[in-house]
Structure 1
Amino acid sequence: MDGSYGAAEQLGSTVVRVLAPNPSPMTHRGTCTYVLGEGAGRAVIDPGPPDAAHMEAVLGACSGARVEAILVTHAHLDHSPGAALLAARTGAPVLGWRFDRGRSETMQALAGIGGGEGVDRAFAPDREPADGERIEGDGWAVRAHWTPGHMASHLSFETPDGDVLSGDVAMGWASTMISPPDGDVAQFLGSMDRLAALGARRFLPGHGEPVEAPAERCRDLRAHRLAREAAILAALDGGTTIPDLVARVYVDTPPALHPAAARNVLAHLIRLAETGAATADRLAPDGRFRRA
C-alpha cells in the first residue's frame, strides 16, 4: 500500500482499493475497501467502519459511476457498519449474511460461551445471496462463496478475472482469528480446501496486501492451524486450563495478543473434543481440558 488513507489504488483494470483509517493489532494498517467495475456501474466490497471521510474516499474511487451493490464479506465492526452509510448515500442494496447464519450445530449450542469480538449485530442486509450465486451489474460481476471459519457467515467474492476478495478468512500478513461461537476450526479447514480449489490468481484480503500465491497460502494456513492443534493436544495433561495452554503454546506471541490466542485455543479444544481427542468438564473459556 502507498501509505495514504483514502487514496484510490488501482490494483487492475477493474478493481480499486481504498484503505480505511482504522489500524490496530487485529486490523493491520486498516480495512481494505474494494471498488469493482469498469462500466457505468460499480460494486463496493466491505465499506468498513462508519467513517464519513472514508465513505467520501470510496465514492471518489467510483469515478462518477453509480454504486449498484454493496457487498459485505462478514459482519464485523471493521467491515460492515459503513454499508448503511453508503446505502443511504447511493440507494444501493446491501448484500451479505447476518452475523449468526451458518453456525454448526455445535456452535449453535455454544452460543452463550462469550466471544463475539467486534460483531456487528445491527448488520441487516437487504438480501442474503446464495452460496455459489453470480451477482452482476453494469461492468462488474462476482460469484459468492460461503467460506466460514473466521466467522460462520463469512462470504468470499470471486471475479471473472480470477481475483477472490477473501475478507478475513485468508490473508497474507497473519493467520485469521478463530473465536467461537462465530469462528470454527473445522469450518476454517474446509474453507481453505475450497478456496485452494478455486484456482484463483490472487486473493484480495480484508487487511494487508494481495496474496499472489493463493492456493499455496491456503495450504500454509491449513498447516498452521493443524500444527497449533497438535501443539495444544501435546500440552494437555490431567486438567489443563486455557491460560496454561496459551502460555505453553503461544510463547512467541506478544502478551497483548494473548486474549485473542485464548479464543483460538478454545476453538481448537472444541474441535479436539468433537473428534474425541480431548475431553472437558465443560466447553467454556474457564473449563478444564484433558487428553482423551
Structure 2
Amino acid sequence: MDAPYAILEPLRPGIARLLARNPSPYTYTGTQTYLVGDEEEVVVIDPGPDLDEHLDAIVVAVGSRSLKAISCTHTHRDHSPASRPLKERTGAPIIGCAPLVLDDDGPRADASFDADYAPDRVLGDGEALAVDGHDLVAVATPGHTSNHLCFAYRGALFTGDHVMGWSTTVVIPPDGDMGAYMRSLGKMADREEDEVYFPAHGAQVDNPRRLARHLLGHRMAREKQIMKRLEEGDSTIDAIVANIYPGLDERLVPAAGGSVLAHLIELDRQGRASQHGEEWRVA
C-alpha cells in the first residue's frame, strides 16, 4: 500500500499523526498513532504495535518535548503493545484505558487482546490530563471492548476503534457488547463539542455527529435484518451471515459472525430472540 509509514503528518494545531506498518483486512492501512500537544509537552495516543520502525518514529516525533503520557483507547494488540517499550525508552507513564483480562481465549476475528498491558493510571469517564494548557479528556465508549475510551482534545475526538474512517466496527462477544456499543454511539451523537473524529484506522471524519447517527441507524437496520432472518427460519449464525452479507470476503466472515452473535445476545436481553443449543429462534 502507498501509505506514509513512519512519517509525521501535522493535522491541525497541536495534533499530528504517525501510521504504523501493520496493514490488514481489520486495520486497513495500519494503526494511526496520534501526538497531541504543542511546544513543551505531548501525549501519545494509541502507540500501536511493537514495531521498531514505528517506535523510532514516535521517539523522533516527540523530540525534545516532555512526553507527559502514553494513552491507549483499548487493549487490542494493534493499539497498546508499544506502550511498554515506549515507556522504557522515555520514562513516560501509561495513562488511559483499564487493563482487560478475559477468561475466554477463543478465536477472534480482529486483533487479539494485549494481556500484558499495564497502565500506571486508569482514566474514568470525564477525567482529564492537562497538555500544554489544554485538557485531554477521557470519554468512556464501551462496546467494541468493555474498556474502550475515546479522547477529546481541542475540538477533536480520537475515536480508537469505536468509530473508524473506513469501515464499521467489529463487535465480538464475550467482551464486545452490541447494546453498550449502540448506547456509546448515541452518546457520541449527542456531543456537540466534537468538530472532527480522528480514528485509529482510516480517514478523519469531518461530520462526526452525522456519522455517529448513521452508524447507529446502520446497527438498528442490521438488527431488523437479523430478526427477519429468524422469522423466515434461519436458526444458525452461519445461515444468517450468508443471507445478510452476500459476497463477503471470506477473511471477514468470522467478524460478521461475531457481530451477528452480538446482535442476537442483545435481542435475547430484550426478550425478542432466544438460544436453544446452537440454534436461535424468535422468542
Q: Is the 8 A contact 1:48 1:77 kept in 2?
A: yes
Pairing 1:94-133 to 2, within 5 Å after superposition: 94-100=94-100, 112=104, 114=106, 117=110, 118-133=112-127
Separation of aligned partners in 1, 2:99 and 2:87? 19
Separation of aligned partners in 1, 2:213 and 2:272? 23
Find the counterpart in structure 2 of residue 241 from structure 1: 236
1:64 Cα offset (Å): 2.1
Gap runs ≥5 in structure 1: 102-107
1:114 Cα offset (Å): 3.5
Pairing 1:252-267 to 2, within 5 Å after superposition: 252-267=247-262
Q: Does 1:219 align with 2:213?
A: yes
Q: 1:9 to 1:172 in 2, by over 3 A?
A: same
Q: 1:233 to 1:86 in 2, by over 3 A?
A: same
Summarize deviations over 1:94-133 as a string: whole Å, max 9, x none. Answer: 01233438xxxxxx9xx64835551111111111112110
Find the counterpart in structure 2 of residue 53 from structure 1: 53
Separation of aligned partners in 1, 2:20 and 2:79? 10
Separation of aligned partners in 1, 2:97 and 2:106? 21
RMSD of the alignment, in Å? Answer: 1.9
Pairing 1:1-292 to 2, within 5 Å after superposition: 3-100=3-100, 112=104, 114=106, 117=110, 118-159=112-153, 161-199=154-192, 200-237=194-231, 240-282=235-277, 287-292=278-283
User: How many residues are matched?
Assistant: 279
Separation of aligned partners in 2, 1:72 and 1:263? 24
Q: Is the 8 A contact 2:72 2:79 kept in 1?
A: yes
Summarize deviations over 1:139-175 as a string: whole Å, max 9, x none. Answer: 553010100111110000001x210000000112100
Q: Is the 8 A contact 1:41 1:139 kept in 2?
A: no
Summarize deviations over 1:47-71 as a string: whole Å, max 9, x none. Answer: 0000111011112222421211000
Separation of aligned partners in 2, 1:131 and 1:98? 11
Q: 1:258 to 1:128 in 2, by over 3 A?
A: same
SS at match of 2:122: coil
1:230 Cα offset (Å): 0.8
Q: Is the 8 A contact 2:98 2:123 kept in 1?
A: no
% identical aligned pairs: 40
Q: TM-score, normalised by structure 2?
A: 0.94
Separation of aligned partners in 2, 1:113 and 1:137? 37
4+ runs deviating over 3 angstroms? 98-101, 111-117, 137-140
Amino acid of the residue matched to residue 288 of structure 1? E
Q: 1:262 to 1:225 in 2, by over 3 A?
A: same
Gap runs ≥5 in structure 2: none
1:272 Cα offset (Å): 0.6
Q: Is the 8 A contact 1:172 1:217 kept in 2?
A: no
Amino acid of the residue matched to residue 86 of structure 2? L
Separation of aligned partners in 2, 1:92 and 1:219? 37
Q: TM-score, normalised by structure 1?
A: 0.91
Separation of aligned partners in 1, 2:174 and 2:97? 16
Separation of aligned partners in 1, 2:138 and 2:264? 30
Separation of aligned partners in 2, 1:213 and 1:2? 26
Separation of aligned partners in 2, 1:166 and 1:19? 15
SS at match of 1:236: helix
